[in-house]
Each structure stands twice: as structure tokens, then as C-alpha cells.
Structure 1
Amino acid sequence: MTRGIFSYLEELQNDLFVLKPADIEQKYFDICRELADLKEINKIYRISMEDYKNSLEENLKAALEHITDDVKAIYFEYDIDNNWDGNYYLCQEYNELSEEDDDWACEWEIYIQGPDFYEFSEMYQMKGGFGDEKEEIGITLFLIVRTMTLFLGLAKKYDTHIPVCIAYHDQDPIMRTKKG
């Protein structure tokens, strides 16, 4: 029986705490090429993320400029179903992952529009999904992993005194980029 995507995402959360972004990407490249057609995984791998990264970083810098004592976390959410469209939310509440309550992400004062990433959205719409088929698990997981590792690299680049988190729309739990 094939593991479900949510099992892999739970493992990914732990990996975000202990592995470098490049090591995470390699680990899940190896996993996903076993689940999905290697040709499709290589397509995802070859999609340039440079413009997306630059926009994501520019928007993160803008979010950092709005940090006040009231802001407890920065949360980036992207919408897999709508062109990978994303926004940064400056949240006034925050709960640790162990509390299993991510309602804090709804308590935001400021949001900053982030980039979209049509190439990933298109690949997801054509081949991905959250069903039980190995192919769609592999494709969806690798799209998410590449997004997460890119974001993790940016989050680590800026030494924030508050948590920086990421999730796709309706993801539960929200991914933390560092403990505490």
C-alpha cells in the first residue's frame, strides 16, 4: 500500500527542522521519482524558480519592514488551485506546532501580496492532486517540496526573532521553518 501524501508532509515538517534545503530537495526527489514517472519529476526539477524566488524574497523583505511588537509570526500561504498565488500574513497570534492549533494564522493585521507561480500550478492541474494514485502523490509532493525548500532558504537567510511559517491554502498543520 502506498503512503498517503499527508504522511510525507508530516515527515517533511520534521525535515524542515533538521536538514538543509538542498538535502530536503534531494531526499524528496528520490522519493518522488519512485512514486511518479521520472520524466515528470525531472520536468518539475527543471522549472526555473529564479523569478518566483526573487519575488518571494522582495515580498518577504516588505513583510519584515512591517514587523512590530504585536506581530508574533510571519505566515506565507500559497494557493495550489489558483496559480500558486501567495500572500504573506503578519499574525498577532502564534501557537507552537505541538499545540496542534493553527487558528492563529487567521489573526493577522497586515498582509502583503506575494507572487504566483503559474508553471507549478499548471503542472499540478495537469498531473497532481491529493488522491491515492502514486503518480499524483509524487508530483504534488515534489511541487510542494520545491516550494517549501525555496521558502526555507529565504527564511533562514533573514534572522527574524519571530517564527516564519508556510502552507498551501487549507493545509493543516502549517509548516514551521524552525522550532521555537
Structure 2
Amino acid sequence: MSETRLIKKYPNRRLYDTAISSYITLADVKRLVLDGVDFQVVDAKTRADLTRTILLQIISEEEEGGEPIFSSELLAQIIRAYGGNMQNMLTSYLEKSMELWSEQQRVFRERTRHFMDTNPMQMLTQIAERNLSMWQAMSGLGGEKNGEEDEQGGKDAGSDRETPPESKRSKGESRRRRG
């Protein structure tokens, strides 16, 4: 596992990435987040951890510069949760929700990649076969013959279902009953 990257924040508001020995911008820090790089931002003088503050700055810029994720109502609800006895529960809930969301996104990307890697006609054939077998199972018209016959030796032609007793009578017998 790699070491946590150290970024120092100087009083002039500049961020210095010690791993590359260069000043960076908030956009560069955002790129680190997107790339999954483990980092910590510290005050160059006091060594206080400023990572959350920098991340909140990035979120603030993102919220102002396009389609926001947080509605005003959601932000108000989060503010109301501060200091309450449920704050820790909300934090845990939000973290778990984001983990679940990330996992669902990962699975979706994998399935999409798998779909794109396979032959589209093969994929459509598999879907059609699966739908047909589900329809057969639901309608009782399974594709397998069980080979069993009833005591009168009859099966409905072309089907796995047994012929009802009424239809096993001869045609003449049916006509005599009607007439």
C-alpha cells in the first residue's frame, strides 16, 4: 500500500505537493480525489489537518459551477443535524449510502463493459432464450417431457399436459351425449 501523499497549505493560500515538489491548485487536488490517491492536506505552520476543509472547498466550487447535487432543503437538513444526538448516526448513514452507491456504479460499469465486449446478437439470443424459458415455466408449458402417462394412456398431442378426461372420450361418444 502506498504512503499518504502530503500536501502543505501555506498562509498565501497556496498548496504545495511534497510528492512532486510543486505547487498545485484545487483542480489538481480534485484530480487526486478522482484518481483515488490517498492524501492529507496540512497547514504548513501549525501542521493542523486541513483535508476536510479543502475537500469542502472543492465541493463548494462544484456546487456553484453546474448542476448541484445538494438541494437547499438537503443542505438545511444537514445543518439541522449538527450537534444533535443523531449526528453520528447521520454521518454513518451517509457514508454507508455512498459506499453502496459506489458499489452499484462499479457493478453497472462492469456489466456495461461485459455487454459491450460480447457479440450483440449472441446477447440478444441469450435474452430471448431466457425470456422464453421463463414464459414456458410460468405458463406450465415446460420444454421437457416427463414421459408419464395417465391411467388411460393419453397425453394431449404436442404438449406436456395430460389430456382432460372429457376430451379422451371418442368423438362419437361426445356426439351421443349432446344429442
**TM-score range relative to shorter protein:** under 0.3
TM-score (norm 2): 0.22
Which of the pair has the greater relative contact order for Cα pairs under 8 Å at 6+ separation? Answer: 1
TM-score, with structure 1 as normaliser:
0.22
Asked which structure has the greater CA Rg, the reply is 2
